[in-house]
Structure 1
């Protein structure tokens, strides 16, 4: 009996071995030669499907950014020209290819060369850009009529659309497998995330990367045989992950209209390096953040671009820092509004000079601030305990990161929205602060003083709110794709560990800034402004390789005489020494633009109310 069972088992094994041998041979035939029978039976096509598929990522499912009015900042969908590798087979009729190439503005040879180079699916992109071309209705008709092999019109998501400009604030993405493993090793191991998934490289793309990671990809596959030849009758296979919660929708505090006004001001005056920050004067929400040279998210490091966000990079503030020195001196009781100073153009020691040849003569403290007298403020700086100057700077939001942050976000982890923000400095060490020359240079915003445009604009908000410091916010809320709220990022105060300046001091600073515009260094530049304005100018002398060049500053607010709505910092970098400071001029241009915008919106609202 046992012998009979053993014999039957042996025969069954032989039969199975033979069967698998036949199947293996058949499979090999399909892989190597089967593709020749492209019009063969459905079973042939079914087996070919198992062999190979080429996928084109149409939308990564990465979270999207919007401005405060709901306008998309990322993820614009266009009708793209997509092509798949076809192993050198003819694409179609030469006449159709010529006609399509002509409509795209290229020679037929360029189009066919692109097709022949393909090793993976791709879309036709704007020359010199990473953006997919948005086909016109005529171009779409040409493609559909031509029936070109492995060519189709497909909806494609351009991560960074044309005309969307707050790119340093948003940042960029790139593939970095090693970094992906460090950050998301567990998710990759569990196949919840691909090793090639794009990662945020800067800006909000980086600080919010863990929330933005795509969980709802849209891909399209062209089904091919083992030789990567398209199979008739199967065509393209769309794969959509319809997760109702993703991609996440991030509403920023940015206002695209305000952003464009600020950028236009820099462009009008031919400024290629610098920054503008526009904050809501009530709570320090970031309405606009301009940084030049611009970031090209598709070509990081390309000539004429800069990955660094100048709006959060600390540089010498020049006379803008005299606002801190004035606040410190008033609160320390070492001066008063009616004190007079004598400026003959030289301080008398440390080699310090006033910017005005021959000096300002006799002037009061208010006039010294309005005229930005170096001699008067060097005198005040020497009277001050350097520790008190440091404390006052921190109370006004300097020498520390000021942007919105939390130790525990909705996902349980810490979050700092402006992760690249530099803290800046006042004195680099206590030893340096003991030196009289260092103190006088610090008092006028030179030596080791470093401030970001964001901090400078935020100082204005603090002064307008009687010494109450806010944390500039770049994101208002994060919602799921179905509209459900994931997290609300509320307005956040940012007091220093020393508290804030006194309301009386803030009022005195506002008085001084008004004098700057009415009779001081910004009077001529802002005389014709549409709104009454207030602020402080600054010229920072650069050192090292940039010696002989200056940075131009202006920080201010408006409208004056009613509740101010905007606090603005303008930085124009790397200017030739002797060139007139254009900071106030650019500031005035921005504020005029904001007034026009408000009028336009009021008119639009009134017209909408009539209907």
Structure 2
């Protein structure tokens, strides 16, 4: 009897095992993507997908940027109105729709039309923006009380906060299938990445894209049946990655207080086109980088905006380049600090004239630099072997990319933080440099000379460091989401293959830059400064179709007594010819703001 029961029990268990095995195989068949067998309601695979239904991305999982003090610069969570397709179901009563419309301050027909046309889940966005609207408490209450079908208030992460002006240094993200295929072809082939996933288009978003991609998005799913009708009791489900290390957090060198102070100065002076770079004088870290026209990361190409970072574009520097000519003249031995020259206002050839029509008369080399005498510096450049100008510029970090880079970053691949940085130019060719007229024009910062505002500001830092050229950083470190360090980004030197200028030469350049402010071309503009300042002005005449336009420059540092804190380059582009150079005035205003911020920081430190 016991044997009979045992035999029957064995057969029952065997039957159960067979049934479970068949069902397991069937599920595996579906999971592997082969479940296209037809049923009364369509393929098994499509039914499974239909039952998961519409997903709405709340957070892409992309890494975030912070300023040097840890303040978020990207990633602003807002409570916004989200809607899913109605799939033929009524949204709600006309009264409910009206109440939500009034809360959103739009016509009922506008809201109804938007809801009716939804073919996939979407957020309610700000006008002229792709930024999800940040609902007020009253708006949230109105949406929740309306109880519209497929409509809810959800938290979504706007990539670029409304509270911070978009920065060219950070850049933007956009869909670029060709670049996704080029950079992430392996992941696309494995279906680990969609060809339409947004990637960095400029700035740090582009240069650090491979580290920012993250490990997965946070999304909300509306669970529906095969007919795409919401399942009762299930509602919305949250799907999110579970890894405490991600998304990564990139700590930049930007100081948001300084950045916003610079933006206020530019806006207050109604500057439309140009750039400002503020570097930490101690290590060349980029504390602020402003570029105009502004960037709209949600609408690239929008009228009145420009995605190009003008701080990294090379422009003719005008008399700012006389700093290089002066250093080259001293180091080549063709001139000494106390040499005397004569300026009549005309050079006598090449159609070259001094900005001071009547001339400067008898003038020393130091005075010629302070007064920015074209005649003296054209003469120096023409007398000089052109190699001296080329080499000295290179020694001071001009005519080459100087932004932070490494051949092997933490992931083993090369990394250049400022990919858009142009290297600039001194001479177009060695043959052209043999022409005396070209050398004369080069010596005063005209002809083919091109310098970026970043390079100009960094040249000042090099002068402050007795000729040592540092490589400006835009990133301090990369951290995991839980705060742990993934990697530091150490300060690097940007050594020239020709070595560096002599400390004695650097000291003379500092003396000359101080004279520019005390008794030279910037005396009037910077006379009321609370900080002692030093620098060099420049007006570059534009050629070609912009012949009647000029670029205005000022580069300098402060305070000029004691330990300097900041080096600043100001470029005002496309100014009408004949208009006085306002760059020195803006430099003074920016320095006043920096002094104020330093004073407040010192007060806070004393209170602690």
Matched, 1:311 2:311: yes
Tell me, in whole angstroms, the C-alpha distance in 2 between the residues paired with 1:240 and 1:266: 42
Residue 168 of structure 1 is matched in structure 2 by 168
1:25 is displaced (CA, Å) by: 13
Residue 570 of structure 2 is matched in structure 1 by 570
Residue 36 of structure 1 is matched in structure 2 by none
1:346 is displaced (CA, Å) by: 0.7
Q: Could you give the per-residue CA deviations for residues 45-91 of structure 1, whole angstroms, max 9, x where no partner exists?
A: x9777545111110000010000000001111111111111134321
Partner-residue secondary structure (3-state), 2:492 = coil
Does structure 2 retain, via aligned residues, the 8 Å contact 1:216–1:243?
Answer: no
Does structure 2 retain, via aligned residues, the 8 Å contact 1:215–1:247?
Answer: yes
Does structure 1 retain, via aligned residues, the 8 Å contact 2:258–2:594?
Answer: yes
Q: Could you give the per-residue CA deviations for residues 230-283 of structure 1, whole angstroms, max 9, x where no partner exists?
A: 333221111011112211110000000000111111111110100000000011
Residue 602 of structure 2 is matched in structure 1 by 602
Residue 9 of structure 1 is matched in structure 2 by none
Matched, 1:218 2:218: yes
Partner-residue secondary structure (3-state), 1:135 = coil
Does structure 2 retain, via aligned residues, the 8 Å contact 1:31–1:51?
Answer: no
Matches within 5 A, 1:224-243: 224-243=224-243
1:228 is displaced (CA, Å) by: 3.4
Residue 295 of structure 1 is matched in structure 2 by 295
Q: Could you give the per-residue CA deviations for residues 117-164 of structure 1, whole angstroms, max 9, x where no partner exists?
A: 212111111101121111111111111111111111111000000132
Partner-residue secondary structure (3-state), 1:192 = coil
Partner-residue secondary structure (3-state), 1:288 = strand
Tell me, in whole angstroms, the C-alpha distance in 2 between the residues paired with 1:521 and 1:227: 77
Does structure 2 retain, via aligned residues, the 8 Å contact 1:52–1:226?
Answer: no
How many residue pairs get aligned? The number is: 575
Matched, 1:354 2:354: yes
Matched, 1:484 2:484: yes
Tell me, in whole angstroms, the C-alpha distance in 1 between the residues paired with 2:571 and 2:143: 49
Tell me, in whole angstroms, the C-alpha distance in 1 between the residues paired with 2:194 and 2:230: 26
1:349 is displaced (CA, Å) by: 0.5
Moved more, 448-457 or 86-95: 86-95
Tell me, in whole angstroms, the C-alpha distance in 2 between the residues paired with 1:292 and 1:412: 35
Residue 112 of structure 1 is matched in structure 2 by 112
1:96 is displaced (CA, Å) by: 2.2
Matched, 1:430 2:430: yes
Does structure 1 retain, via aligned residues, the 8 Å contact 2:171–2:202?
Answer: yes
Matched, 1:157 2:157: yes
Matches within 5 A, 1:361-372: 361-372=361-372
Partner-residue secondary structure (3-state), 1:197 = coil
Does structure 2 retain, via aligned residues, the 8 Å contact 1:461–1:567?
Answer: yes
Does structure 2 retain, via aligned residues, the 8 Å contact 1:216–1:242?
Answer: no
Residue 386 of structure 1 is matched in structure 2 by 386
Tell me, in whole angstroms, the C-alpha distance in 2 between the residues paired with 1:520 and 1:74: 43
Q: Could you give the per-residue CA deviations for residues 322-363 of structure 1, whole angstroms, max 9, x where no partner exists?
A: 000000001111111211211111100011011111111211
Residue 204 of structure 1 is matched in structure 2 by 204
Does structure 2 retain, via aligned residues, the 8 Å contact 1:63–1:250?
Answer: yes
Tell me, in whole angstroms, the C-alpha distance in 2 between the residues paired with 1:534 and 1:60: 47
- Tell me how large the CA RMSD over aligned residues is: 2.0
Tell me, in whole angstroms, the C-alpha distance in 2 between the residues paired with 1:26 and 1:102: 49
Tell me, in whole angstroms, the C-alpha distance in 1 between the residues paired with 2:392 and 2:37: 82
1:523 is displaced (CA, Å) by: 0.5
1:602 is displaced (CA, Å) by: 2.3
1:490 is displaced (CA, Å) by: 0.3
1:31 is displaced (CA, Å) by: 5.7
Partner-residue secondary structure (3-state), 1:170 = coil
Tell me, in whole angstroms, the C-alpha distance in 1 between the residues paired with 2:520 and 2:229: 75
Tell me, in whole angstroms, the C-alpha distance in 2 between the residues paired with 1:193 and 1:25: 24
1:416 is displaced (CA, Å) by: 0.4
Does structure 2 retain, via aligned residues, the 8 Å contact 1:91–1:149?
Answer: yes
Tell me, in whole angstroms, the C-alpha distance in 2 between the residues paired with 1:47 and 1:451: 61
Q: 1:285 to 1:25 in 2, by over 3 A?
A: closer
Matches within 5 A, 1:442-591: 442-591=442-591
Q: 1:380 to 1:87 in 2, by over 3 A?
A: same
Tell me, in whole angstroms, the C-alpha distance in 1 between the residues paired with 2:178 and 2:72: 31
Tell me, in whole angstroms, the C-alpha distance in 2 between the residues paired with 1:193 and 1:603: 50
Tell me, in whole angstroms, the C-alpha distance in 1 between the residues paired with 2:543 and 2:162: 38
Q: 1:584 to 1:31 in 2, by over 3 A?
A: same
Q: Could you give the per-residue CA deviations for residues 433-457 of structure 1, whole angstroms, max 9, x where no partner exists?
A: 0100000000000000000000000
Residue 184 of structure 2 is matched in structure 1 by 184
Tell me, in whole angstroms, the C-alpha distance in 2 between the residues paired with 1:108 and 1:89: 18
Tell me, in whole angstroms, the C-alpha distance in 2 between the residues paired with 1:425 and 1:502: 23
Partner-residue secondary structure (3-state), 1:167 = coil
Tell me, in whole angstroms, the C-alpha distance in 2 between the residues paired with 1:56 and 1:510: 58
Partner-residue secondary structure (3-state), 2:54 = strand
Residue 129 of structure 1 is matched in structure 2 by 129
Normalised by the size of structure 2, how large is the TM-score? 0.92
Residue 407 of structure 1 is matched in structure 2 by 407
Does structure 1 retain, via aligned residues, the 8 Å contact 2:166–2:295?
Answer: no
Moved more, 450-459 or 126-135: 126-135
1:30 is displaced (CA, Å) by: 4.3
Does structure 2 retain, via aligned residues, the 8 Å contact 1:83–1:150?
Answer: yes
Partner-residue secondary structure (3-state), 1:579 = coil
Does structure 1 retain, via aligned residues, the 8 Å contact 2:50–2:224?
Answer: no
Tell me, in whole angstroms, the C-alpha distance in 2 between the residues paired with 1:152 and 1:28: 34
Tell me, in whole angstroms, the C-alpha distance in 2 between the residues paired with 1:47 and 1:561: 75
1:567 is displaced (CA, Å) by: 0.2
Tell me, in whole angstroms, the C-alpha distance in 2 between the residues paired with 1:508 and 1:451: 22
Tell me, in whole angstroms, the C-alpha distance in 1 between the residues paired with 2:405 and 2:342: 46
Partner-residue secondary structure (3-state), 1:224 = coil
Normalised by the size of structure 1, how large is the TM-score? 0.91
Partner-residue secondary structure (3-state), 2:573 = strand
Partner-residue secondary structure (3-state), 1:353 = coil
Residue 13 of structure 1 is matched in structure 2 by none
